[in-house]
Every structure is written in structure tokens, then in C-alpha cells.
Amino acid sequence: MRWKNTSAAAALLLCAVTGASAQAGSKLQVDLDSRESIKKAAKLVAANLWEYYRGDEPGQTPGILPGPPPGGPYYWWQAGAMFGTLIDYWHYTGDSTYNNETIRSIVFQAEAPVNAFMPRNWTASLGNDDQGFWGMTAMLAAEVNFPNPAPSDPQYLALAQAVFNTQAARWETADCAGGLRWQVPHTNNGYDYKNTIANVVFLNIAARLARYTNNETYAEWAERTWDWTAGVGYITKDFNVYDGANTPTNCTNINPVQWSPNAAVLLHGAAIMYNYTTGNRQAQWKNRVAGLLNRTVDHFFPDGIMVERPCELKDRVQCNVDQHSFKGYMHRALASTAVVAPFTRDSIVEVLKSSTKGAAESCLSDGTCGFRWDRGEFDGDRDNGPAGQQMSALAALSTLLLDDGKGPLTNLTGGTSVGDPNAGSSAFELDPMKTITAGDRAGAAIVTIVVVGSFVGSLVWMSGGWFEIF
């Protein structure tokens, strides 16, 4: 991490000194059966996370963490995920400390006049998944009635709709019979890769828009995306969720590595669809939720504590900066799933408690948290993006406070965010959203699937520096 001014360097030195002091001290004290104790511990962890943010300082850019490399370790998308974590933190704890800067950052990074989270300064690394993480944060803000921006600023629901509209316009069938590419600009490395995370984030936003607005067209897009993702083999019959494949092979060279955000975001989107639908459609989504949940817990929670399996090995950690934040997205997705799909609640709460116990044991008394949650102590892992470790621990603590409410708000149940069905249209020639036909649904299913690649190939892929996220 390279700091650009002496005050930041001084802050880093202070963190190093206090961190060394804390390592000699005790673990974070928290009673996971006490809501007040959880809130107190979460507040410490949140304050530690905020130390890595510089966007509220004079002369700095609102809404980003220091980066991208070599200017700092963080890519643009991770700040969007951080503000989503902080919205959840407010939602679960009531602590509004970071609200004003969160509102300012979301509006700033949406970037007028398009207001679709496609800032020009990040074109060189703009992926559909990057844009989508900011879109999910805006959608969450609408669902929990996070304080709205000024009336003259873009509103959360409209921002989520702008992300959906711009991405729906990029859906193309010339390669692999559908799907979204990883990268947005065709000149970016990775444009020929259709990855799972870009598509399941799109599904997630579509499902949540369907539920919030009661607009069936969004639901049809969510179903179309599931059909395509499963049709090309990224989701298996056993509910493994693989990473993606390349367009020159017609998406047949599937990379079978399983990253937790793919499963987490997909599970949450499926749970929303279960909540939104009725009858046979609901039964189908219930089966998908149950299958995904069982496989996800079995794969990522050995002994009840989350492990990022592809890169967090028994004898070493080879996770990059982005991957150090993944555990938080899983905990947040599981908590939301428990609320909108109540049949999952008991099993989810059980695993959230056991995994959060491990997360808390990885933290020091000052709220400094490590990465490995299954060691029973702080692991000293602070090199690969400490903000990610803090985000994950904060999400774990916050989501233990999920209540028995009926779930995310809609525009019929108290949601106040103002929408715009045509948001983002200035970025392209927006055609009216068409109804999905039976032929469209069948298109993905007839793609020839040939899963190739080996475990060794997966490791080469992971270690080759291909992705800023996965």
C-alpha cells in the first residue's frame, strides 16, 4: 500500500504501533448471546474499518478506498461493497456514524449524468460485476429505508434500475447463447470471459427489483439468467457454483473453482425469487434455495466456521486483497436469505453463530481482526488489504442481529426510495424491456456443455493475476 501524504503515513504508523500493542493484549470481548455486547464489539470493528477510508479527507475522492494498485491495494468495486456493509451495519445496530459519508459516496460514484455507476476514471477496470456490487448497495439502501439523498440527487431505487438497464442492454446471444461478459469495455483484458459473478449479481438485482416494484419483467430476467447460468454448466445439478468460461470456446472451458461470493449472491437472489413467486414457480425456487444452501454450508463452513476454500489452505493463505473480503458477503447473504426464506432460518442462524464465534476470536481487543477464523486467535494477517478482514468481521457480527421482521421493504410496504424505470438510458439507446419467451428460456439449455480443466489448472488461473476480484 502506498500512501500519498504524510498524514496518511503517520496514521499508518500509528495503526502499526497500536496493532503491535493490541497483539500483546487480549481478544475482542463479546457475548454472542447479548445484542448490546454484539453492538459494542461491532462498533469497535467498524471504527477500525473506517481507518482505511480516506475519501472524507480534504482533496480526496469520495467513495473509494486507496487504490487501485500501485496507488493502493483496493479496486473500485470493493468500496461499493464496503458501503453496503456499512448500510447493513446501520440497519442491524442503529449506529448512524457513517451514514452521511455513505450517502455522499454513493451519489458521487454513481456519476452524473448517467448515474449508473460507470465512472469514467474506472473505465480501465470496469466490469459488470464491479458495477453490480455498487448496484446491490443501492438496492439495499432502498430496501432498508436508508436515509435518502437530497431530492436533487439520484435516488437509490433509480440507481439500481440504472445498473439493471445498462446491463440488460449488454446481454448478448452471439457467444454462448446469452449472458453477460466480465468486462464492459471491449478493450479490457477479460472481455472474452463470461463469469458467474457478473451474471448472478445481475440476477440478484433483477430479483430484488421484481420484489420491490412488483414488476414481473424483472423476475423474468432473473429466471432467464438462472436458466442461462445453469444451462452453460456454471451451476451444476449438485449446486456447485463454478467461476465461468471463455467465449471463444462457446463457454465450454469451464473453470471449476468455487469462490464464495458466486454462491452467496446467487443464494440470496434465489431466496428473493422464492419470496416473490407463488405456486409452482415458488416450489422451484424453494428447491434451488435448499440445494444451494446445503451445498454452500457443506463446502464453505467446515466445522461451522467459514473458510474461503480456493485460497485459504490448511498450511498457507494465498488469497489476494479482494478475496480477504469475501467472508462478509457470505454472512450478509445468509442473513438476508434467512429473512426472506424463513424455512432456512434455523440452519442459517446456527451456522452464522458458529462462524461469527470464530470471527470474533480472530479479533483483538481494539477491533483489529484477522483473516483465518478457524484458528481461535488473531492470525496476524494484515498484509493483503486489512479493510477486507474488517468488512468480513463487521458483517459477521452485524448479521447476528437479524430480527423476525418480514424482510426487505417494497414500495407497497413502506419503502420510500423513488425509482425511474428508464434510469441509465442516456448511456445507450434503451429499447423497451421485452417479455421473455419460451424460446429465450430454451436458448441457454441447448448450449453444448463440455466441462474441462483440472484442479491444477484452477490453481494456475487463480495465481496468474487474471482478476482483480476473482
**Mean pLDDT across the stretch 180-186?**
96
Lowest mean pLDDT of 115-129, 215-229, 231-245, name the range. Answer: 115-129
Q: Are 308 and 328 in contact (CB under 8 A)?
A: no
Residue where the block lists cell 451519489: 107
**In this structure, is the dihedral angle defined by the CA atoms of residues 463, 260, 165 and 155, taken in order, positive or negative?**
negative
Looking at the predicted structure, is the pLDDT value of residue 12 above 50?
A: no
226 vs 322: CA distance, rounded Å: 25
Phi-psi region of 113 (alpha: psi -120 to 50; beta: other; left: phi over 0): alpha
Residues 6+ apart with CB under 8 A from 196: 229, 234, 241, 242, 243, 244, 262, 266
Q: Please state the length of the chain.
A: 470
Query: Which grid cell sits at 116?
Result: 449508473
Each residue's pLDDT tens digit, 323-338 = 999 999 999 999 999 9
- For residue 11, is pLDDT > 60? no
**Residue 39 backbone dihedrals phi, psi, to 5 degrees:** -60, -40
Torsion of CA 247, 251, 254, 259, to 10 degrees: 70
**What pLDDT does residue 338 have?**
97
Environment class of 314 (CB within 10 Å of its CB; exposed 0-12, middle 13-18, buried 19+): exposed
The radius of gyration of the chain from alpha carbons, rounded to an integer in Å, stands at 21
Q: What is the C-alpha separation between 247 and 20, in angstroms, rounded? A: 48
pLDDT at 428: 60
Reported as a single tens digit per residue, the pLDDT across 68-113 is 999 999 999 999 999 999 999 999 999 999 999 999 999 999 999 9
Place of cell 488473531: 378
| CA 241/CA 211 separation, integer angstroms | 24
Instruction: Tell me the torsion sign for CA atoms 330, 208, 176, 320.
Output: negative
Per-residue model confidence (pLDDT) at position 445: 42
Average pLDDT of the chain is: 88
Q: pLDDT band at residue 123, thresholds of 50, 70 and 90? A: confident
Q: For residue 404, what pLDDT band results from cuts at 50, 70 and 90? A: low
Q: What does the block give as the cell for 463?
A: 495465481
In sequence order, what DSSP letters do the residues of 126-190 get, joined into one string?
Answer: -BHHHHHHHHHHHHHHHHTTPPPPPTTSPPHHHHHHHHHHHHHTT--STTTTS---SBSSTTSTT
Q: Is residue 454 scored above 90 in pLDDT?
A: no
The per-residue pLDDT for range 255-284, each reduced to its tens digit, is 999 999 999 999 999 999 999 999 999 999
Per residue in 35-50, pLDDT tens?
Answer: 999 999 999 999 999 9
